[in-house]
Chains A and B, each alone.
Chain A
Amino acid sequence: MRILALSLALLAAPAWSQSPRSGLEFQGEDIRRLQGDDFANPAMLWAERGAAAWQRKQGAANTSCADCHGAVEQSMRGVAARLPAWDARLGRVSTLEGRITACITREQRAAEPAPESHDLVGLLAYVALPSRGMPLRVDVAGPAQASFERGRELYAKRIGQMNLACTHCHDRQAGKTLLAEKISQGQPTAWPAYRMEWQAAGTLERRLRACFLGVRAEMPNYRDDDLVALQLYLAWRAQGLPLEAPGVRR
Chain B
Amino acid sequence: MTEAVNVGRLRVPPRAKRGEVVEIRLLLQHPMENGFRRDTLGRSVPRNIIHRLVAHYDGREILRAELGTGMAANPYFAFFTRAGASGEVIIEWEDDLGVKGSLRAPIEVS
Contact pick for B3, options A40, A42, A118, CB 8 Å: A118
In the complex, the answer to whether B7 meets A42 with C-beta atoms within 8 Å is no
In the complex, the answer to whether B9 meets A199 with C-beta atoms within 8 Å is no
Least CB separation from A194: chain B residue: B74
Sorting the interface of chain B by its residue count into under 10, 10 to 19, 20 to 34 or 35 or more gives 10 to 19
In the complex, the answer to whether A49 meets B9 with C-beta atoms within 8 Å is no
In the complex, the answer to whether B11 meets A45 with C-beta atoms within 8 Å is no
Least CB separation from B5: chain A residue: A118
Secondary structure dominating the interface of A: mixed
- Whether A44 is near chain B, meaning CB under 8 Å from some CB there, is yes
| Complex CA distance for A117 and B7, rounded to whole angstroms | 15
In the complex, the answer to whether A200 meets B25 with C-beta atoms within 8 Å is no
| Complex CA distance for A42 and B30, rounded to whole angstroms | 11
- Whether A39 is near chain B, meaning CB under 8 Å from some CB there, is yes
Segment 181-225 of A: residues with Cβ below 8 Å from B = 199-200
Contact pick for A40, options B7, B29, B72, B76, CB 8 Å: B76
In the complex, the answer to whether B74 meets A199 with C-beta atoms within 8 Å is yes
Contact pick for B31, options A39, A48, A49, A199, CB 8 Å: A199
Segment 1-56 of A: residues with Cβ below 8 Å from B = 39-40, 42, 44-45, 48-49
Provide the residues of chain A in CB contact with B72, threshold 8 Å: 199
- How many residues on A have C-beta within 8 angstroms of the other chain's C-beta atoms? 11
- Whether B73 is near chain A, meaning CB under 8 Å from some CB there, is yes
In the complex, the answer to whether B7 meets A49 with C-beta atoms within 8 Å is yes
Provide the residues of chain B in CB contact with A117, threshold 8 Å: 3
Q: What per-residue 1/0 map shows which CB atoms of B11-54 lie under 8 Å from chain A?
A: 10000000000000101010100000000000000000000000
In the complex, the answer to whether A48 meets B9 with C-beta atoms within 8 Å is yes
- Whether B1 is near chain A, meaning CB under 8 Å from some CB there, is yes
In the complex, the answer to whether B74 meets A39 with C-beta atoms within 8 Å is no
- State the B residues within 8 Å of A (CB): 1, 3, 5, 7-9, 11, 25, 27, 29, 31, 72-74, 76
